[in-house]
Structure 1
Amino acid sequence: MIKKIPIAIVTMLISLSGCAKDYSLAPPADSEKVTVTVKLPKELKTETMWVMYRSATCKRISYGASGQRTERDGHNSVYKEFERQGRSDIYQVELPKDGGGACQWHLANVTFGVAYADPARFGENIIPGGGGGVVVIFDHNNSPRGGADFKVDGDLTIQKDYYPWVDEEFLGPYRKTVSLTGEGKIYLSYQALQARRVHFEPVLHLDFVVYSAGPKIKRKGNHTIFTYPGGSVVADGRAKPDFIKLQAIRLAAENNK
Protein backbone atom coordinates (compact mmCIF):
# COMPACT_ATOMS: atom_id res chain seq x y z
CA MET A 1 0.00 0.00 0.00
CA ILE A 2 1.33 3.43 -0.95
CA LYS A 3 1.04 5.86 1.95
CA LYS A 4 0.11 9.46 1.30
CA ILE A 5 2.84 12.02 2.05
CA PRO A 6 1.67 15.37 3.44
CA ILE A 7 1.94 18.20 0.92
CA ALA A 8 4.10 20.30 3.28
CA ILE A 9 6.70 17.55 3.47
CA VAL A 10 6.70 17.09 -0.30
CA THR A 11 7.22 20.84 -0.75
CA MET A 12 10.11 20.83 1.72
CA LEU A 13 11.78 17.88 0.01
CA ILE A 14 11.52 19.58 -3.37
CA SER A 15 13.00 22.82 -2.02
CA LEU A 16 15.96 20.99 -0.55
CA SER A 17 16.63 18.68 -3.46
CA GLY A 18 16.03 21.28 -6.14
CA CYS A 19 19.34 23.02 -5.44
CA ALA A 20 22.02 20.72 -6.81
CA LYS A 21 25.14 22.53 -5.60
CA ASP A 22 28.67 21.27 -4.99
CA TYR A 23 29.28 21.81 -1.28
CA SER A 24 32.88 20.61 -1.28
CA LEU A 25 35.88 22.73 -0.34
CA ALA A 26 38.10 23.82 -3.23
CA PRO A 27 40.74 26.24 -1.90
CA PRO A 28 42.31 28.31 -4.69
CA ALA A 29 46.03 27.81 -5.16
CA ASP A 30 46.76 31.43 -4.22
CA SER A 31 44.64 31.39 -1.06
CA GLU A 32 46.13 33.23 1.89
CA LYS A 33 47.32 30.77 4.55
CA VAL A 34 46.81 30.61 8.31
CA THR A 35 49.61 28.73 10.10
CA VAL A 36 48.97 27.14 13.51
CA THR A 37 51.99 25.91 15.47
CA VAL A 38 52.37 24.16 18.81
CA LYS A 39 55.63 24.11 20.76
CA LEU A 40 55.21 20.68 22.32
CA PRO A 41 56.71 19.40 25.59
CA LYS A 42 57.98 15.84 25.14
CA GLU A 43 55.44 14.47 27.65
CA LEU A 44 52.50 15.70 25.56
CA LYS A 45 51.03 14.99 22.16
CA THR A 46 48.92 17.10 19.84
CA GLU A 47 45.29 16.21 19.30
CA THR A 48 43.52 16.21 15.94
CA MET A 49 42.51 19.71 14.87
CA TRP A 50 38.87 20.37 14.02
CA VAL A 51 38.65 23.01 11.29
CA MET A 52 35.34 24.67 10.43
CA TYR A 53 34.60 26.66 7.28
CA ARG A 54 31.41 28.72 6.88
CA SER A 55 29.42 29.90 3.87
CA ALA A 56 26.85 32.67 3.52
CA THR A 57 26.06 31.35 0.03
CA CYS A 58 25.07 27.81 0.94
CA LYS A 59 22.56 28.24 3.74
CA ARG A 60 21.38 25.62 6.21
CA ILE A 61 17.59 25.68 6.18
CA SER A 62 15.54 24.27 9.02
CA TYR A 63 11.84 24.28 9.85
CA GLY A 64 10.30 24.64 13.28
CA ALA A 65 7.29 22.79 14.67
CA SER A 66 4.96 25.46 13.25
CA GLY A 67 6.62 25.37 9.85
CA GLN A 68 8.65 28.55 10.33
CA ARG A 69 11.74 28.66 8.15
CA THR A 70 15.16 29.48 9.61
CA GLU A 71 18.28 30.17 7.55
CA ARG A 72 21.82 29.93 8.90
CA ASP A 73 25.23 30.03 7.29
CA GLY A 74 26.29 26.62 6.09
CA HIS A 75 29.35 24.97 7.61
CA ASN A 76 31.85 22.38 6.47
CA SER A 77 34.29 20.58 8.76
CA VAL A 78 37.65 19.01 8.05
CA TYR A 79 40.15 17.39 10.40
CA LYS A 80 43.90 17.94 10.35
CA GLU A 81 46.87 16.33 12.09
CA PHE A 82 49.80 18.46 13.21
CA GLU A 83 53.06 17.71 11.42
CA ARG A 84 56.38 17.77 13.23
CA GLN A 85 58.85 20.22 11.76
CA GLY A 86 62.03 18.20 11.27
CA ARG A 87 63.36 16.93 14.61
CA SER A 88 62.24 20.02 16.51
CA ASP A 89 59.54 20.38 19.16
CA ILE A 90 57.43 22.47 16.77
CA TYR A 91 54.28 20.94 15.23
CA GLN A 92 52.35 22.73 12.53
CA VAL A 93 49.16 22.85 10.47
CA GLU A 94 48.74 25.18 7.51
CA LEU A 95 45.20 26.12 6.46
CA PRO A 96 43.83 28.02 3.46
CA LYS A 97 41.83 31.01 4.65
CA ASP A 98 39.68 30.89 1.53
CA GLY A 99 37.94 27.52 1.28
CA GLY A 100 36.70 28.31 -2.24
CA GLY A 101 34.22 26.12 -4.08
CA ALA A 102 30.74 27.00 -5.25
CA CYS A 103 29.80 27.88 -1.66
CA GLN A 104 32.66 30.40 -1.27
CA TRP A 105 33.73 28.92 2.04
CA HIS A 106 35.81 30.96 4.50
CA LEU A 107 37.84 29.79 7.49
CA ALA A 108 35.64 30.30 10.57
CA ASN A 109 37.34 28.62 13.53
CA VAL A 110 39.71 25.91 14.66
CA THR A 111 39.68 23.70 17.76
CA PHE A 112 42.85 21.93 18.87
CA GLY A 113 44.85 21.03 21.95
CA VAL A 114 47.35 18.80 23.68
CA ALA A 115 47.10 15.75 25.95
CA TYR A 116 49.43 13.37 27.77
CA ALA A 117 51.30 11.05 25.43
CA ASP A 118 51.57 8.36 28.16
CA PRO A 119 48.86 8.65 30.84
CA ALA A 120 50.08 5.35 32.38
CA ARG A 121 53.02 7.19 33.92
CA PHE A 122 50.55 8.45 36.53
CA GLY A 123 49.29 4.97 37.50
CA GLU A 124 47.50 1.88 36.28
CA ASN A 125 44.12 2.01 34.55
CA ILE A 126 44.28 5.77 34.22
CA ILE A 127 42.66 7.50 31.26
CA PRO A 128 43.24 10.93 29.73
CA GLY A 129 41.04 13.76 30.97
CA GLY A 130 40.52 17.27 29.63
CA GLY A 131 42.51 20.48 29.59
CA GLY A 132 45.02 21.99 27.22
CA GLY A 133 42.43 22.98 24.61
CA VAL A 134 42.33 26.07 22.39
CA VAL A 135 39.65 27.54 20.12
CA VAL A 136 40.51 30.33 17.68
CA ILE A 137 37.70 32.17 15.91
CA PHE A 138 38.53 33.96 12.64
CA ASP A 139 35.15 35.54 11.88
CA HIS A 140 32.23 37.14 13.74
CA ASN A 141 30.40 33.88 14.48
CA ASN A 142 30.58 31.76 17.60
CA SER A 143 32.47 28.49 17.47
CA PRO A 144 30.78 25.16 18.28
CA ARG A 145 32.01 25.78 21.85
CA GLY A 146 30.51 29.26 22.07
CA GLY A 147 31.92 32.75 21.88
CA ALA A 148 35.41 34.06 22.55
CA ASP A 149 36.83 34.66 26.02
CA PHE A 150 39.50 36.99 24.61
CA LYS A 151 39.77 39.22 21.53
CA VAL A 152 43.14 40.00 20.00
CA ASP A 153 44.45 42.10 17.12
CA GLY A 154 46.94 40.68 14.65
CA ASP A 155 48.68 37.34 15.14
CA LEU A 156 48.04 35.27 18.24
CA THR A 157 50.63 33.88 20.65
CA ILE A 158 49.42 31.81 23.62
CA GLN A 159 51.78 30.71 26.37
CA LYS A 160 50.11 29.10 29.38
CA ASP A 161 51.18 27.16 32.47
CA TYR A 162 49.69 23.71 33.07
CA TYR A 163 49.91 21.20 35.91
CA PRO A 164 49.15 17.47 35.99
CA TRP A 165 45.86 16.77 37.77
CA VAL A 166 45.13 13.18 38.81
CA ASP A 167 41.50 12.72 39.83
CA GLU A 168 39.58 9.72 41.21
CA GLU A 169 35.79 9.56 41.09
CA PHE A 170 33.85 6.98 43.12
CA LEU A 171 30.18 7.88 42.62
CA GLY A 172 28.84 6.02 39.62
CA PRO A 173 31.38 3.99 37.64
CA TYR A 174 34.83 4.35 39.20
CA ARG A 175 37.30 6.20 37.02
CA LYS A 176 40.74 7.70 37.36
CA THR A 177 41.83 10.44 34.99
CA VAL A 178 44.85 12.64 34.43
CA SER A 179 44.14 16.10 33.06
CA LEU A 180 45.98 19.31 32.33
CA THR A 181 44.80 21.96 34.75
CA GLY A 182 45.56 25.59 34.05
CA GLU A 183 44.12 29.06 34.15
CA GLY A 184 40.54 29.25 32.94
CA LYS A 185 38.38 26.67 31.22
CA ILE A 186 39.26 23.38 29.52
CA TYR A 187 39.21 25.23 26.18
CA LEU A 188 40.59 28.77 26.02
CA SER A 189 38.74 30.66 23.30
CA TYR A 190 40.11 33.58 21.27
CA GLN A 191 38.75 35.76 18.48
CA ALA A 192 41.59 36.76 16.16
CA LEU A 193 40.10 38.26 13.01
CA GLN A 194 43.40 39.33 11.44
CA ALA A 195 45.60 36.45 12.62
CA ARG A 196 47.64 34.64 10.02
CA ARG A 197 49.91 32.95 12.56
CA VAL A 198 48.72 31.23 15.74
CA HIS A 199 51.35 29.92 18.16
CA PHE A 200 50.48 27.83 21.23
CA GLU A 201 53.10 27.01 23.85
CA PRO A 202 51.83 24.94 26.79
CA VAL A 203 54.36 25.03 29.65
CA LEU A 204 54.02 21.78 31.63
CA HIS A 205 55.17 21.73 35.26
CA LEU A 206 55.46 17.99 35.60
CA ASP A 207 57.00 18.04 39.10
CA PHE A 208 53.94 19.73 40.64
CA VAL A 209 51.13 17.19 40.52
CA VAL A 210 47.81 17.86 42.23
CA TYR A 211 45.64 14.90 43.29
CA SER A 212 41.93 14.86 44.00
CA ALA A 213 39.39 12.31 45.20
CA GLY A 214 35.66 12.74 44.90
CA PRO A 215 33.28 11.76 47.72
CA LYS A 216 32.33 8.10 48.11
CA ILE A 217 28.93 8.94 49.61
CA LYS A 218 26.58 11.54 48.14
CA ARG A 219 25.80 13.72 51.12
CA LYS A 220 25.51 17.45 51.73
CA GLY A 221 28.88 18.81 52.81
CA ASN A 222 30.89 16.04 51.14
CA HIS A 223 33.32 17.69 48.72
CA THR A 224 36.16 16.65 46.47
CA ILE A 225 39.43 16.56 48.42
CA PHE A 226 42.44 18.16 46.72
CA THR A 227 46.00 17.31 47.76
CA TYR A 228 48.46 19.89 46.49
CA PRO A 229 52.22 19.56 45.94
CA GLY A 230 53.85 19.79 49.34
CA GLY A 231 50.99 17.96 51.07
CA SER A 232 48.36 20.63 51.83
CA VAL A 233 44.81 19.24 51.71
CA VAL A 234 41.76 21.32 50.79
CA ALA A 235 38.05 20.43 50.44
CA ASP A 236 36.33 23.75 49.82
CA GLY A 237 33.72 22.81 47.24
CA ARG A 238 35.84 23.53 44.19
CA ALA A 239 35.31 21.47 41.05
CA LYS A 240 38.90 21.89 39.86
CA PRO A 241 42.28 22.72 41.43
CA ASP A 242 43.10 26.24 42.57
CA PHE A 243 45.41 27.51 39.83
CA ILE A 244 46.65 30.51 41.84
CA LYS A 245 47.58 28.19 44.71
CA LEU A 246 49.50 25.90 42.35
CA GLN A 247 51.38 28.86 40.89
CA ALA A 248 52.31 30.07 44.38
CA ILE A 249 53.55 26.62 45.46
CA ARG A 250 55.72 26.28 42.35
CA LEU A 251 57.18 29.78 42.52
CA ALA A 252 57.99 29.37 46.22
CA ALA A 253 59.74 26.07 45.54
CA GLU A 254 61.73 27.56 42.65
CA ASN A 255 62.78 30.57 44.77
CA ASN A 256 64.00 28.30 47.55
CA LYS A 257 66.35 26.34 45.31
Structure 2
Amino acid sequence: MIDVKSNRKIPFLCFVLLTFLSGCAKDRSMNPSPDGEKVKIYIKMPEDLELRSMRVMYRSAVCQRVTYDGDGRPERVDGHNGFEVPLQRREGDLYGANLFVDGGGPCEWRLSNVMFGMTYRDPSRFGENVLVGGGGGVIVVFDHNNPQLSVGRRVAVEGSELKIVKDYYLWLNERYTGGYVKRASLSGCGSGYITYEARQARNVYFEPVFHPEFVVTSVAPKKHAVGDFIKFFYPDGTVESDPEGRPNFKKMQEIRLRAEAKK
Protein backbone atom coordinates (compact mmCIF):
# COMPACT_ATOMS: atom_id res chain seq x y z
CA MET A 1 0.00 0.00 0.00
CA ILE A 2 1.31 3.46 -0.91
CA ASP A 3 1.71 5.94 1.93
CA VAL A 4 -0.02 9.03 0.51
CA LYS A 5 1.29 11.35 3.23
CA SER A 6 4.86 10.19 2.62
CA ASN A 7 4.40 10.52 -1.13
CA ARG A 8 3.40 14.18 -0.78
CA LYS A 9 6.81 14.98 0.69
CA ILE A 10 8.65 14.00 -2.51
CA PRO A 11 8.08 17.25 -4.49
CA PHE A 12 9.14 19.31 -1.46
CA LEU A 13 12.32 17.27 -0.99
CA CYS A 14 13.13 17.63 -4.71
CA PHE A 15 12.69 21.38 -4.41
CA VAL A 16 15.07 21.56 -1.44
CA LEU A 17 17.65 19.42 -3.28
CA LEU A 18 17.50 21.55 -6.43
CA THR A 19 17.82 24.72 -4.37
CA PHE A 20 20.90 23.29 -2.62
CA LEU A 21 22.52 22.24 -5.89
CA SER A 22 21.88 25.60 -7.51
CA GLY A 23 23.57 27.26 -4.51
CA CYS A 24 26.68 25.13 -5.14
CA ALA A 25 26.86 26.52 -8.68
CA LYS A 26 27.36 30.13 -7.51
CA ASP A 27 29.75 32.11 -9.70
CA ARG A 28 33.02 32.28 -7.71
CA SER A 29 35.04 34.03 -10.41
CA MET A 30 37.08 37.16 -9.74
CA ASN A 31 36.69 40.40 -11.64
CA PRO A 32 38.93 43.13 -10.19
CA SER A 33 38.68 46.69 -11.43
CA PRO A 34 41.71 47.50 -13.66
CA ASP A 35 42.36 50.68 -11.68
CA GLY A 36 41.75 49.07 -8.28
CA GLU A 37 44.11 49.29 -5.30
CA LYS A 38 47.06 46.88 -5.44
CA VAL A 39 49.61 45.28 -3.15
CA LYS A 40 53.09 45.27 -4.71
CA ILE A 41 55.42 42.39 -3.77
CA TYR A 42 59.18 42.72 -4.31
CA ILE A 43 61.66 39.92 -3.55
CA LYS A 44 65.44 40.17 -3.90
CA MET A 45 66.80 36.66 -4.43
CA PRO A 46 70.47 35.66 -3.89
CA GLU A 47 71.95 33.49 -6.65
CA ASP A 48 72.40 30.48 -4.31
CA LEU A 49 68.69 30.40 -3.53
CA GLU A 50 65.63 29.62 -5.64
CA LEU A 51 62.17 31.15 -5.39
CA ARG A 52 59.23 28.96 -4.49
CA SER A 53 55.87 29.63 -6.10
CA MET A 54 53.88 32.35 -4.37
CA ARG A 55 50.52 31.19 -3.03
CA VAL A 56 47.78 33.84 -2.90
CA MET A 57 44.57 33.55 -0.89
CA TYR A 58 41.40 35.62 -1.34
CA ARG A 59 38.41 35.34 1.01
CA SER A 60 34.75 36.26 0.77
CA ALA A 61 32.16 37.16 3.42
CA VAL A 62 29.47 36.79 0.72
CA CYS A 63 30.27 33.24 -0.43
CA GLN A 64 30.70 31.66 2.99
CA ARG A 65 31.28 28.00 3.79
CA VAL A 66 30.44 25.79 6.75
CA THR A 67 33.05 24.19 9.02
CA TYR A 68 32.59 22.13 12.17
CA ASP A 69 34.23 22.58 15.55
CA GLY A 70 35.57 19.80 17.78
CA ASP A 71 32.05 19.06 19.05
CA GLY A 72 30.60 18.77 15.56
CA ARG A 73 28.76 22.08 15.70
CA PRO A 74 28.52 23.97 12.37
CA GLU A 75 30.14 27.38 11.99
CA ARG A 76 30.00 29.73 8.99
CA VAL A 77 33.34 31.22 7.90
CA ASP A 78 34.53 33.29 4.96
CA GLY A 79 34.85 31.37 1.70
CA HIS A 80 38.31 31.04 0.18
CA ASN A 81 39.85 31.14 -3.29
CA GLY A 82 43.54 30.22 -3.45
CA PHE A 83 45.91 29.96 -6.40
CA GLU A 84 49.56 30.36 -7.39
CA VAL A 85 50.91 33.57 -8.91
CA PRO A 86 54.24 33.58 -10.78
CA LEU A 87 56.81 36.10 -9.63
CA GLN A 88 58.19 38.00 -12.62
CA ARG A 89 61.82 39.06 -12.89
CA ARG A 90 62.00 42.86 -12.68
CA GLU A 91 65.71 43.50 -13.05
CA GLY A 92 68.81 41.64 -11.96
CA ASP A 93 67.97 39.58 -8.87
CA LEU A 94 64.70 41.42 -8.14
CA TYR A 95 61.35 39.67 -8.65
CA GLY A 96 57.83 40.91 -8.10
CA ALA A 97 54.08 40.70 -8.54
CA ASN A 98 51.10 43.07 -8.22
CA LEU A 99 47.95 41.80 -6.49
CA PHE A 100 44.52 43.42 -6.42
CA VAL A 101 43.23 44.15 -2.91
CA ASP A 102 39.63 43.92 -4.15
CA GLY A 103 39.21 40.79 -6.27
CA GLY A 104 35.64 41.71 -7.23
CA GLY A 105 33.22 39.23 -8.75
CA PRO A 106 29.84 38.12 -7.35
CA CYS A 107 31.59 36.90 -4.17
CA GLU A 108 33.31 40.26 -3.61
CA TRP A 109 36.69 38.64 -3.01
CA ARG A 110 39.25 40.42 -0.83
CA LEU A 111 42.98 39.72 -0.57
CA SER A 112 43.58 37.70 2.58
CA ASN A 113 47.22 36.55 2.59
CA VAL A 114 50.24 35.58 0.52
CA MET A 115 52.83 32.86 1.10
CA PHE A 116 56.27 32.90 -0.48
CA GLY A 117 59.82 31.85 0.22
CA MET A 118 62.88 30.11 -1.18
CA THR A 119 64.93 26.94 -1.09
CA TYR A 120 68.60 26.10 -1.58
CA ARG A 121 69.21 25.99 -5.32
CA ASP A 122 71.74 23.14 -5.74
CA PRO A 123 71.60 20.48 -2.98
CA SER A 124 73.32 17.96 -5.30
CA ARG A 125 76.67 19.64 -4.63
CA PHE A 126 76.61 17.87 -1.24
CA GLY A 127 75.84 14.46 -2.70
CA GLU A 128 73.79 12.81 -5.41
CA ASN A 129 70.86 11.92 -3.15
CA VAL A 130 70.68 15.11 -1.07
CA LEU A 131 67.15 16.52 -1.18
CA VAL A 132 65.81 20.06 -1.09
CA GLY A 133 64.71 20.95 2.44
CA GLY A 134 62.47 23.61 3.93
CA GLY A 135 63.01 26.90 5.69
CA GLY A 136 62.84 30.43 4.41
CA GLY A 137 59.05 30.80 4.30
CA VAL A 138 57.10 34.04 4.79
CA ILE A 139 53.36 34.69 5.19
CA VAL A 140 51.85 38.17 5.01
CA VAL A 141 48.26 38.53 6.27
CA PHE A 142 46.13 41.46 5.06
CA ASP A 143 42.82 40.77 6.85
CA HIS A 144 41.33 39.37 10.08
CA ASN A 145 41.48 35.71 8.97
CA ASN A 146 44.13 33.22 10.04
CA PRO A 147 46.29 31.98 7.17
CA GLN A 148 45.75 28.44 5.89
CA LEU A 149 49.18 27.54 7.29
CA SER A 150 49.69 28.95 10.76
CA VAL A 151 53.05 27.88 12.20
CA GLY A 152 56.10 29.67 13.48
CA ARG A 153 56.54 33.22 14.72
CA ARG A 154 53.92 36.00 14.29
CA VAL A 155 54.81 39.68 13.97
CA ALA A 156 52.32 42.58 13.93
CA VAL A 157 53.22 45.44 11.57
CA GLU A 158 51.58 48.85 11.11
CA GLY A 159 51.63 51.08 8.06
CA SER A 160 51.68 50.68 4.29
CA GLU A 161 55.35 49.62 4.01
CA LEU A 162 56.58 46.17 5.05
CA LYS A 163 60.32 45.60 4.67
CA ILE A 164 61.67 42.17 5.63
CA VAL A 165 65.46 41.66 5.63
CA LYS A 166 66.58 38.44 7.35
CA ASP A 167 69.78 36.37 7.66
CA TYR A 168 69.78 32.72 6.58
CA TYR A 169 72.29 29.87 6.84
CA LEU A 170 72.60 26.52 5.10
CA TRP A 171 71.59 23.57 7.25
CA LEU A 172 72.55 20.03 6.16
CA ASN A 173 70.49 17.59 8.19
CA GLU A 174 70.66 13.78 8.22
CA ARG A 175 67.91 11.52 9.52
CA TYR A 176 67.91 7.73 9.91
CA THR A 177 64.57 6.72 11.41
CA GLY A 178 62.08 5.77 8.71
CA GLY A 179 64.88 5.47 6.15
CA TYR A 180 68.01 7.54 5.60
CA VAL A 181 67.41 11.06 4.29
CA LYS A 182 69.76 14.00 3.91
CA ARG A 183 68.40 17.47 3.15
CA ALA A 184 69.82 20.89 2.41
CA SER A 185 67.56 23.28 4.32
CA LEU A 186 67.67 26.92 5.32
CA SER A 187 68.06 28.03 8.92
CA GLY A 188 66.76 31.43 9.98
CA CYS A 189 65.33 33.17 13.02
CA GLY A 190 62.54 30.95 14.33
CA SER A 191 61.07 27.77 12.93
CA GLY A 192 58.69 27.28 10.03
CA TYR A 193 57.09 30.30 8.40
CA ILE A 194 57.37 33.81 9.81
CA THR A 195 53.89 35.36 9.70
CA TYR A 196 53.48 39.13 9.41
CA GLU A 197 50.08 40.59 10.28
CA ALA A 198 50.17 43.69 8.06
CA ARG A 199 46.62 44.71 7.17
CA GLN A 200 47.57 48.14 5.80
CA ALA A 201 50.68 47.00 3.88
CA ARG A 202 50.64 47.87 0.18
CA ASN A 203 54.37 47.58 -0.55
CA VAL A 204 56.07 44.38 0.63
CA TYR A 205 59.83 43.95 0.22
CA PHE A 206 61.61 40.71 1.16
CA GLU A 207 65.38 40.28 1.07
CA PRO A 208 66.90 37.06 2.40
CA VAL A 209 70.58 37.66 3.23
CA PHE A 210 72.22 34.28 2.67
CA HIS A 211 75.62 33.35 4.17
CA PRO A 212 76.68 30.19 2.27
CA GLU A 213 80.15 30.05 3.80
CA PHE A 214 78.69 29.31 7.26
CA VAL A 215 77.13 25.84 7.25
CA VAL A 216 75.62 23.97 10.19
CA THR A 217 75.14 20.20 9.94
CA SER A 218 73.08 17.87 12.10
CA VAL A 219 72.76 14.13 12.62
CA ALA A 220 69.66 12.61 14.19
CA PRO A 221 69.87 9.51 16.43
CA LYS A 222 69.66 6.23 14.54
CA LYS A 223 67.19 4.93 17.13
CA HIS A 224 64.71 6.63 19.41
CA ALA A 225 66.06 6.80 22.95
CA VAL A 226 65.16 8.94 25.96
CA GLY A 227 67.57 11.85 26.31
CA ASP A 228 69.24 11.21 22.93
CA PHE A 229 68.79 14.36 20.82
CA ILE A 230 69.91 15.61 17.42
CA LYS A 231 73.57 16.65 17.38
CA PHE A 232 74.52 19.91 15.68
CA PHE A 233 77.99 20.56 14.29
CA TYR A 234 78.69 24.28 14.04
CA PRO A 235 81.25 25.97 11.75
CA ASP A 236 83.45 26.96 14.72
CA GLY A 237 83.93 23.28 15.61
CA THR A 238 81.54 23.11 18.56
CA VAL A 239 79.01 20.27 18.90
CA GLU A 240 75.70 20.60 20.72
CA SER A 241 72.59 18.49 21.28
CA ASP A 242 69.24 20.20 21.03
CA PRO A 243 65.81 18.77 21.99
CA GLU A 244 64.06 21.32 19.73
CA GLY A 245 65.69 19.81 16.66
CA ARG A 246 66.75 23.07 15.01
CA PRO A 247 70.06 24.93 14.77
CA ASN A 248 70.77 27.68 17.27
CA PHE A 249 70.32 30.78 15.09
CA LYS A 250 71.80 33.14 17.68
CA LYS A 251 74.93 30.97 17.84
CA MET A 252 75.27 31.04 14.03
CA GLN A 253 75.02 34.82 14.07
CA GLU A 254 77.71 35.08 16.74
CA ILE A 255 80.05 32.73 14.84
CA ARG A 256 79.65 34.74 11.62
CA LEU A 257 80.13 38.13 13.32
CA ARG A 258 83.30 36.93 15.11
CA ALA A 259 84.71 35.62 11.83
CA GLU A 260 83.90 38.84 10.01
CA ALA A 261 85.46 40.95 12.78
CA LYS A 262 88.79 39.10 12.31
CA LYS A 263 89.02 39.96 8.61
TM-score w.r.t. the length of structure 2 is 0.89
Distance in 2 between residues matched to 1:24 and 1:198, nearest whole Å = 26
* Aligned-pair CA distance for 1:211: 0.4
> What is aligned with 2:127?
123
Match of 2:114 among 110, 113, 120: 110
Distance in 1 between residues matched to 2:68 and 2:134, nearest whole Å = 36
Q: What number of residue pairs does the alignment pair up?
A: 251
Aligned CA distance change for structure 1 residues 63 and 192 (closer, same or farther; 3 Å): closer
Q: RMSD across aligned C-alpha pairs, in angstroms?
A: 2.4
Match of 1:152 among 154, 157, 160: 157
Aligned CA distance change for structure 1 residues 65 and 110 (closer, same or farther; 3 Å): closer
- Find the residue that maps to 1:145 and give its secondary structure: coil
* Aligned-pair CA distance for 1:136: 0.3
> What is aligned with 2:201?
195
Runs of 4+ residues deviating >6 angstroms: 9-12, 63-67
> What is aligned with 1:70?
75
- CA distances 1:172-206 after superposition (whole Å, capped 9, x unpaired): 11100011101012210001111111010000010
The residue identity in structure 2 corresponding to 1:134 is: V
> What is aligned with 2:234?
228
TM-score w.r.t. the length of structure 1 is 0.90
**Which sections of structure 2, spanning at least 5 residues, go unmatched?**
1-9
Distance in 2 between residues matched to 1:243 and 1:66, nearest whole Å = 40
The residue identity in structure 1 corresponding to 2:154 is: D
Aligned CA distance change for structure 1 residues 65 and 116 (closer, same or farther; 3 Å): closer
Q: Does 1:52 align with 2:57?
A: yes
> What is aligned with 1:3?
none
Q: Report the more deviating stretch, 228-237 or 34-43.
A: 228-237
Whether the 8 Å CA contact 1:47–1:81 is kept in 2: the answer is no
Distance in 2 between residues matched to 1:111 and 1:200, nearest whole Å = 12
Instruction: Decide which structure has the larger Cα Rg and report it.
Output: 2
* Aligned-pair CA distance for 1:21: 2.2
**Which sections of structure 1, spanning at least 5 residues, go unmatched?**
1-6
Distance in 2 between residues matched to 1:67 and 1:247, nearest whole Å = 47
- CA distances 1:214-237 after superposition (whole Å, capped 9, x unpaired): 001221122111000021111142
> What is aligned with 1:240?
246
- Find the residue that maps to 2:217 and give its secondary structure: strand
Distance in 2 between residues matched to 1:67 and 1:244, nearest whole Å = 44
> What is aligned with 1:4?
none
